[in-house]
């Protein structure tokens, strides 16, 4: 396939290390309204009857947020839906994993099996493999066929131990904006990885299907990251307000007892905190718990 640019070039069967495929799948899907595919269970081992919902509708998003309390739960839904999407085209049992890098945090790694998670964690530590290739921006897609592929020998050994014969890594273009200080969105490095026992499980049409689904997955993941980040920021803000309220009320108690200024009352709390090696908030809460009426309660956000 020529004339599509470096990122769009495939390698032939005679050259196993494949790279990227077209963004448009080879067959036309009929768009129709459907419930979110992220809620569907993962197919049983050996099953070829999985029926993921149509992802041909560009306006459709995976529901990765409803009923979830963390990004990890949303990622679990994403890998299940992703595996089902590729199973439909490959006709084989497919395992799936996802890696998401966020600033000042360890990478979030989730998979449909423990073997997938261990492989992704090993690859992150060793910095060798198809997912690392796409995360570093080498190519949007990287395919490994274990037999005859010598690009990542140590990774191939790990792949063999896990019982997989081929891997497809697909980069997710996620531009997360929540919580960033910059005015514009910041790219969040993320990738999907598909694993199969068959050494030739990812021909061109499966790669094209995976890339088409990756566009849907990236938009859905971006929304999930933004919403979970916003929830976390709101929770931190409520905690800070509760903490500040306890300190202010405790300072009022000290001011009444010692007939001193707010600054002097806070200095008393700070000295007690330093002497006892306890946070100022805990010192303040201890004072309030000894009040005859009990500690006052703040209810921010209610």
CATH of 6-231, one of 3.30.450.80, 3.30.565.10, 3.30.1370.60, 3.30.200.20: 3.30.450.80
- Give pLDDT, residue 87: 85
CB–CB of 202/196 below 8 Å? yes
Identify the weakest region by mean pLDDT among 113-127, 169-183, 217-231: 169-183
Task: Give the residue with greater pLDDT, 124 vs 182.
Answer: 124
Q: Supply the pTM of this predicted model.
A: 0.60
Start and end residues for every CATH 3.30.450.80 domain found in the chain: 6-231
What is 240-289's CATH topology? Arc Repressor Mutant, subunit A (1.10.10)
The tokens for 110 are 């989730």
Per-residue pLDDT at 5? 34
Q: Which of 193, 203, 108, 119 lies closest to 155 in space, CA to CA? A: 119
Ranges 8-22, 46-60, 119-133, 155-169: which has the least confidence: 8-22
pLDDT tens per residue across span 80-112: 989 888 887 777 889 999 999 987 888 999 999
pLDDT digits (tens, 9 = 90+) for 281-292: 888 888 888 887
Q: CATH 1.10.10.10: which residues of the chain?
A: 240-289
Three-class HEC string of 39-100: HCCCCCCCCCCCCCCCCCCCCCCCCCCCCCCCHHHHHHHHHHHHHHHHHHHHCCCCEEEEEE
Does position 46 have pLDDT exceeding 60, yes or no? Answer: no
Contact 194, 144 (CB under 8 A): no
């Amino acid at each position: 396939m020529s004339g599509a640019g470096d990122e769009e070039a495939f390698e032939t069967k005679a050259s196993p290390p494949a790279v990227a495929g077209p963004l448009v799948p080879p067959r036309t899907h009929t768009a129709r309204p459907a419930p979110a595919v992220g809620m569907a269970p993962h197919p049983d081992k050996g099953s070829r009857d999985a029926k993921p919902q149509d992802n041909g509708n560009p306006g459709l998003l995976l529901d990765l947020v409803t009923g979830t309390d963390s990004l990890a739960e949303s990622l679990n839904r994403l890998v299940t839906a992703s595996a089902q999407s590729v199973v439909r085209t490959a006709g084989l049992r497919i395992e799936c994993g996802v890696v998401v890098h966020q600033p000042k945090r360890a990478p979030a790694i989730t998979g449909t099996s423990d073997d997938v998670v261990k492989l992704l964690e090993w690859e992150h530590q060793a910095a060798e493999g198809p997912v690392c290739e796409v995360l570093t921006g080498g190519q949007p897609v990287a395919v490994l066929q274990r037999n005859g592929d010598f690009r990542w020998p140590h990774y191939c050994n790990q792949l063999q131990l896990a019982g997989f014969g081929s891997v497809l890594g697909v980069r997710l273009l996620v531009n997360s904006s929540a919580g960033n200080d910059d005015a514009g969105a910041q790219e969040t490095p993320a990738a999907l990885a598909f694993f199969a026992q068959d050494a030739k499980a990812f021909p061109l049409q499966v790669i094209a299907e995976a890339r088409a689904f990756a566009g849907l997955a990236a938009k859905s993941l971006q929304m999930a990251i933004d919403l979970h980040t916003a929830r976390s920021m709101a929770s931190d803000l409520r905690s800070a307000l509760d903490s500040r309220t306890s300190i202010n009320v405790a300072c009022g108690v000290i001011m009444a007892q010692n007939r001193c200024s707010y600054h002097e009352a806070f200095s008393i709390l700070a000295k007690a905190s330093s002497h006892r090696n306890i946070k100022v908030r805990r010192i303040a809460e201890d004072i309030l718990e000894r009040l005859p009426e009990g500690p006052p309660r703040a209810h921010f956000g209610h």
